């Protein structure tokens, strides 16, 4: 079918909860994707960091294929031979005593919220139903009712109330606001070490380190949502490591499967995850043997190919390149590793559309920010080529696409 026909079918029969770029991907390999008509595009989004290892990584594919021939799902009613090996691999890689596997990132966040509340009651001694969790403004942890209930983005909340209580919001990066928000009923502080959906917002130096110290002093769990920022994206295995912080609870997902399958997990101590008893929490697919085999292979790729190191090296190059641009549209360039936000003084969607025409796929966030997050396996030559296309769209007044960009930039376009 022609791309226009496929787009028409999607728009007719699918709920309109996304506003994707109109490119219909048919296949992908490494850092490149191909549409149904054979045109190729450099992927500068990596499925929101889910394919840090690149599209269709052969080692992860081989692991998936081998396990799919054996057994895919048993549910947790029975044991399987892959789950304990994933537990061991996660422990050896991160040092955390225990893990609880789920499917999506949002499910893992919900799991962490439940663990924190029960820990607050049975370990810290908070009265039943009184536990509070502090969250940061401009957070993005998923789209469940509980999670959007403590979002500061009005669109995420509009029409979905009433919401669960027990959350207190503080400004991101404001350590004194965090200190002042903690009470005797506070069981946890949930935070993204770098806020992704908000536009790749990097907090002040020392913020996470000071937050960890405050949480220790007040017997509060520091819970880091590293679903996007973790597993190599920022130039360290986890973004928390940039400040030498080991959160009490680590939430991971996305690249935990290399894009082959939904896999997420909550990592913590025996004291925290040990509060769960059989029946307290669960998932039919969480911890299934196919997911575990895929996750084990995805983790091996991150280590064997030193993806955090590649992200650090290539990210420094990309950040310096972008900060050297001279464009009337750029307000700020920020980021860590191969995770960069370009804040503009007008809607970013038209620029993403123009980049698509040049063979580079990226996506706007919070209307005026272009976020860049290519697969960490990208070659330097491909990265340079992609950055040159961005430079041409944002900077060159004589570029062939300038008139189209100028025209598009004058319109209002939005969508996540």
pLDDT of 409: 45
- Give me the pLDDT at residue 410, please: 46
Q: pLDDT per residue over 104-158, tens digit each?
A: 999 999 999 999 999 999 999 999 999 999 999 999 999 999 999 999 999 999 9
pLDDT at 46 over 60: yes
pLDDT band at residue 327, thresholds of 50, 70 and 90? very high
Using a pLDDT cut of 90, give the percent of the chain over it.
95
> 53 and 255 in contact (C-beta within 8 Å)?
yes
Domain parsing of the chain, residue ranges: 3-56+306-409, 71-304
Closest CA to 255 of 298, 200, 304, 309: 298
Mean pLDDT, rounded, for 12-28: 96
Closest-CA residue to 225 (of 197, 204, 259)? 197
DSSP string, 223-264: EEE-TTTTTTTTSSSSGGGGGT---SEEEE-GGGTTTSS--E
Residue 276 has pLDDT above 90, yes or no: yes
Quick check: 412 pLDDT over 50?
no
CATH fold of 71-304: 3.40.640
User: Would you give the distance in Å from CA 74 to the centre of its chain?
Assistant: 28
Contacts for 188 with CB less than 8 Å, ≥ 6 apart? 112, 113, 116, 119, 120, 133, 134, 220, 221, 222, 223, 248, 249
Cα 47 from Cα 398, distance rounded (Å) = 32
What confidence category does residue 407 fall into, taking pLDDT thresholds of 50, 70 and 90? low
Global pTM reads 0.95
- Confidence at residue 386, expressed as pLDDT on a 0 to 100 scale: 98
CATH no., domain 3-56+306-409? 3.90.1150.10
Q: Is the pLDDT of residue 403 over 70?
A: no
Q: Look at residue 247 and tell me whether its pLDDT is greater than 90.
A: yes
The answer to whether 76 touches 280, Cβ cutoff 8 Å, is: no
Residues with active-site annotation: 140, 225, 254
CA 366/CA 199 separation, integer angstroms: 7
- pLDDT score for 416: 44
Distance CA 354, CA 346 (A): 14
Q: Do 267 and 99 meet the contact criterion of CB atoms below 8 Å apart?
A: yes
* Average pLDDT of span 176-187: 98
Instruction: Give the Cβ contact number of residue 308 at 10 Å.
Output: 23
Distance between CA 46 and CA 371 in Å, rounded? Answer: 11
* Confidence label for 365 from pLDDT (cuts 50, 70 and 90): very high
pLDDT classification of 396: cutoffs 50, 70, 90: confident
Mean residue pLDDT of the chain comes to 95
Task: State the first-to-last Cα distance of the chain, in angstroms, to the nearest integer.
Answer: 26
Asked if residue 397 has pLDDT above 90, the reply is no
């Amino acid at each position: 079918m022609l791309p226009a026909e496929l787009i028409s079918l999607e728009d007719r029969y699918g709920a309109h909860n996304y506003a994707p770029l109109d490119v219909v991907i048919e296949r992908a390999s490494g850092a490149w994707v191909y549409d149904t008509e054979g045109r190729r595009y450099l992927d500068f989004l990596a499925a929101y960091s889910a394919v840090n290892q690149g599209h269709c990584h052969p080692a992860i594919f081989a692991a998936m294929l081998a396990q799919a021939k054996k057994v895919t799902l048993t549910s947790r009613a029975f044991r399987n031979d892959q789950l304990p090996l994933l537990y061991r691999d996660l422990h050896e890689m991160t040092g955390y005593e225990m893990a609880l596997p789920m499917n999506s990132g949002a499910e893992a966040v919900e799991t962490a919220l439940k663990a924190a509340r029960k820990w607050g009651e049975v370990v810290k001694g908070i009265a039943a139903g009184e536990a509070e969790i502090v969250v940061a403004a401009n957070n993005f942890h998923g789209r469940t009712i509980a999670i959007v209930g403590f979002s500061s983005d009005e669109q995420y909340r509009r029409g979905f109330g009433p919401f669960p209580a027990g959350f207190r919001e503080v400004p991101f990066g404001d350590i004194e606001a965090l200190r002042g928000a903690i009470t005797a009923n506070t069981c946890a502080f949930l935070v993204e070490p770098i806020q992704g959906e908000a536009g790749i917002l990097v907090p002040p130096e020392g913020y996470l380190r000071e937050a960890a110290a405050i949480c220790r002093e007040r017997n509060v769990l520091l819970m880091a949502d590293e679903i996007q920022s973790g597993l190599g994206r920022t130039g360290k295995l986890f973004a928390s490591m940039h400040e030498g912080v080991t959160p009490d609870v680590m939430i991971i997902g996305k690249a935990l499967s290399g894009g082959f399958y939904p896999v997420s997990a909550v990592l913590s101590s025996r004291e925290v995850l040990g509060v769960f008893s059989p029946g307290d929490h669960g998932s039919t697919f969480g911890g299934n043997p196919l997911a575990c085999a895929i996750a084990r292979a995805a983790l091996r790729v991150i280590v064997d190919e030193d993806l955090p190191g590649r992200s650090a090296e290539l990210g420094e190059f990309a950040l310096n390149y972008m900060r050297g641009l001279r464009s009337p549209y750029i307000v700020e360039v920020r980021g860590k590793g191969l995770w960069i936000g370009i804040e503009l003084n007008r809607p970013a969607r038209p620029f993403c559309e123009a980049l698509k025409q040049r063979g580079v796929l990226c996506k706007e966030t919070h209307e005026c920010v272009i976020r860049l997050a290519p697969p960490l396996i990208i070659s330097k030559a491909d990265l340079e080529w992609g950055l040159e296309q961005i430079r041409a769209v944002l900077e060159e007044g004589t570029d062939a696409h300038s008139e189209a960009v100028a025209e598009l930039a004058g319109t209002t376009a939005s969508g996540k």
